[in-house]
A and B are shown apart, each in its own frame.
Chain A
Amino acid sequence: MGATLFPDMPYPQCRPSLRLCRPLFALMLMSMAGCQSWHKSHVAAIHSYASGDLKTSQIELQKSIKSPRAEKEMLLLDQSVLQLASGNPSAAETNLREVRRELEHLEQTALGEKATAMLTDDNAVAWAARDFERHMVLNMLLLSSLLNNGTDSFAYSMQVAQRAAGVREGLAKKVTHPTQPADGTPGTAGPAILPAGYSGANPSLTTPVQNLVTPVDKPIAMGSYLSAAIQSETAVRAIETDRALDDVRFWNPEFGESLASPESLSFGTRCKPGHGALHVIALVGRAPEWVPESTVPTQAALLIADRILSVTGKHTLPPTIAPVRIARPVPDYSAVQPAALHFSVLSADNQPAISSIPFQTLVDVNAAAVASFENNRDEEVARIVVRRVVKKGTIYVLKEAQKISRNTAVDLAVNVAGIAWEAMEKPDLRSWHLLPARIDVARTELPAGTWKTDLRIGSGTGGRVQIPVHIADGRNTFVVFFVPENSITGDILVGGADQATHSSRQ
């Protein structure tokens, strides 16, 4: 075989070189063997969800999940959103709980995977979700629990508080022991924060930490909001309720403005006697798609470096022809805006008792994804550079070990193989696709009893639904609906003090 490939070379010389190439070819073949056919059905599932065909979406997603090489955790997260939109919060909660446990396990460093990633790409490392996605897993878990029977809602609310305190502590450490200045200028580190969790209402203590909050951590505000609702149903947990509300203001100050006055704190037992709170939660749009982006300066720098080494060194290196690509989110800003969401409460004669309750954005997943990309961009590029160095180094060592002379056919073949090896790298585009782009919330206080409500998108072209909701004294009722494109999709779920599922097709 060697003689056929390289007829000009005597067999004994050619054979060892070919043998050397085998590991490279084997690696390539093994990487290619994972041809991800499950992607097709996954894409079909995403499109079906967007068009409102949840049944087809579930069938397609099941096809993907059954594939042995599929990214199970990622697909199960998508499935949980589908289950929720299909009016099955119990299945969604179970799914999310199991995936969360798995993701916690996968978050730990796996040296084997890291080593493989050095030889292939970041996709070799098991997907453990990005930072903001992990926040959203807990948020969606808490929401599913509230829409289910609420047995574990309290436990999840405690976990949210723990997570919020943990992230806050991490930010406080950056302030007290800054590795780099918080605002980019030297000597501006804030005062010591002890303890990091809750620094009360003292603005001089909260401000430096709050300055470090990026959109990546803002989704925590949703968990804190739901926690505040859960804690507020028991009057003796006033401190816990206040802490959760403080957390909402801390993680999302823009939304927190709506909680500034005591009258605005219409949560559970904080409502007027005989009244309860109604929270309307809209899951709008779709999370950004992650696409490959070439980092031309890095590629150019690597090319220059390997050319210099090739000219001055004993052996040539494969030129950096393959683009250096990283994953970048492409936010979809075409989603329905909060102003186009109309929710009103009707009186007995179907007249608006409370005209459109304004929606406000509690979580902006688009912003979180972009911030996550910016935070991790340098690290991702650095990993690619290291990977390229390892690959080029491997080629160099092989040439040295096999004494392959410069500018021979074998040298050329090894370089071509090296280029192909580098070209096989793919950026890590894995993400939670069916996550909404935004989570908007409207809230009002109503006298206990059953009310008819009217939900409308735009002028009604995106759907109009009227559903009954029961308000209980001192409790919270949640209405959750999905608007992936321009209309209401799937079922409208009612949870908390009332439990019901209503079809959006009336």
Chain B
Amino acid sequence: MFSKRLTVGLFVLAVLTITIAGCRGKQHAHVLSNDDKDMVGSHTAGAETWKPLVQQATAQLMAQSAGTIHQASHTTGPEGLPQRSICFLGVQNLSGEELGESAEQIYEDITTMISQDPQFKVISRTYVEAAMDQCRLTPQQLLLPEPQRQLLQTMERVQQPFDYLLFARVTSMSTNSNGDYQRDYKLTLEMIDIHTAQSFQTSADLRKGYHKSFLGKLKHYND
């Protein structure tokens, strides 16, 4: 009797081991509704991080900028009011974590949010990239008078003059604790008025804890 059980047990164990180790799950998907929470990235930041950061930092920047007097403008809006024309120079990743495809989405989200305000006009990315390529400039160089003039002239030639330069920077700070780590993400938006050299800067922060086990959250945050 014992040997029978042993035999069956061994066989079942072997089959189970191979099945568990060798099985590949099927891929499934579902459409999320607006009420659904974003998935939380287990290894890197994703929608749960970048969406609130973009919303917070952009809203702050627009509020701060709207409170200032716009002295000169190249363009006017549909109601004849002067528009603040922005040359957005992309997202610079200075964090310890790669952005991958998120960089493009962050760019688009910031552009979309700013464009919703009639006070602001964001110049098409295609124009900006083409002009930057032609001038062979890096965003950092544009704070110097000569490269800035060069870019402005190029943009003016295609009827896309601008009043502001907009920079987006992603930075991070990591804290390690025996394999678990906390990463503090910061999105900084800096807008520079090329007529007055005045700059506005806003930033938004979000902290995330990454744990090797589900107990990590309890251990580090008593949560």
Contacts and interface: CB of A to CB of B under 8 A. Distances in A.
Contact of B98 (A68, A116, A155): A155
A113 B18 contact: no
Interface string A105-117: 0000010110110
B15 interface: yes
Interface in B88-144: 91-101, 103, 136, 138, 140
Interface string A324-368: 000000000000000000000000000000000000000000000
A40 interface: no
Interface string A79-121: 0000000000000001001000100100000101101100100
Contacts of B7: 16, 19-20, 22-23, 401
Nearest to B170: A155
Given A16-B3, A154-B94, A159-B96, A112 B11 contact: no
Interface in B18-49: 18, 20-22, 24, 43-44
Given A23-B7, A26-B15, A113-B21, A472 B98 contact: no
Contacts of B93: 151-152, 154-155
A163 to B, nearest CB: 11
Given A20-B7, A115-B17, A152-B100, A472 B95 contact: no
Interface residues of B, number: 32
A401 B9 CA distance: 13
A97 B21 CA distance: 24
A28 to B, nearest CB: 11
B184 to A, nearest CB: 15
A22 B101 CA distance: 51
Nearest to A157: B96
B21 A23 contact: no
B3 A401 contact: yes
Interface in B61-111: 91-101, 103
B96 A23 contact: no
B24 A97 contact: no
A23 B12 CA distance: 9
A94 B98 CA distance: 11
Contacts of A433: none
A162 B96 contact: yes
Contacts of A113: 21
B214 interface: no
Contacts of A22: 7, 11
Nearest to B43: A101
Nearest to B174: A162
B21 A112 contact: yes
Contact of A152 (B11, B17, B22, B98): B98
A237 B17 CA distance: 52
A23 B97 contact: no
B2 interface: yes
A475 interface: yes
A151 B138 CA distance: 12
Q: Which size bracket describes the interface of A in this complex?
A: 35 or more
Contacts of A135: none
Given A68-B24, A402-B3, A155 B11 contact: no
Contacts of B215: none
B206 interface: no
B20 A112 contact: yes
Nearest to B91: A151
Interface in A130-164: 145, 151-152, 154-156, 158-159, 162
Contact of B11 (A23, A116, A162): A23
A158 B96 contact: yes
B99 A151 contact: yes
Contacts of B15: 26, 30
Contacts of A94: 100-101
Contacts of A119: 14, 17
B50 to A, nearest CB: 14
A401 B6 contact: yes
A470 B135 CA distance: 12
B197 interface: no
A360 to B, nearest CB: 29
Contacts of B21: 110, 112-113, 115-116, 124
A402 to B, nearest CB: 6
A26 B14 contact: yes
Given A101-B43, A116-B21, A155-B98, A26 B11 contact: yes
B34 to A, nearest CB: 29
Interface of B: 2-4, 6-7, 10-11, 14-15, 17-18, 20-22, 24, 43-44, 91-101, 103, 136, 138, 140
26 contacts: A22-B7, A23-B7, A23-B14, A27-B14, A97-B100, A110-B21, A112-B21, A116-B21, A119-B14, A119-B17, A151-B91, A151-B93, A151-B103, A152-B98, A155-B93, A155-B96, A158-B96, A159-B96, A159-B98, A162-B96, A394-B10, A401-B2, A401-B6, A402-B3, A472-B136, A497-B136
Given A16-B3, A30-B15, A159-B98, 17 more contacts: A16-B7, A23-B10, A27-B14, A27-B18, A30-B18, A97-B98, A101-B43, A119-B14, A124-B21, A145-B98, A151-B99, A152-B100, A155-B96, A234-B140, A401-B3, A401-B6, A497-B136
The 5 A-B residue pairs whose C-beta atoms are closest, nearest first, are A152-B98, A158-B96, A23-B11, A401-B3, A112-B21
Interface of A: 16, 19-20, 22-23, 26-27, 30, 68, 94, 97, 101, 104, 110, 112-113, 115-116, 119, 124, 145, 151-152, 154-156, 158-159, 162, 234, 394, 401-402, 470, 472, 475, 497
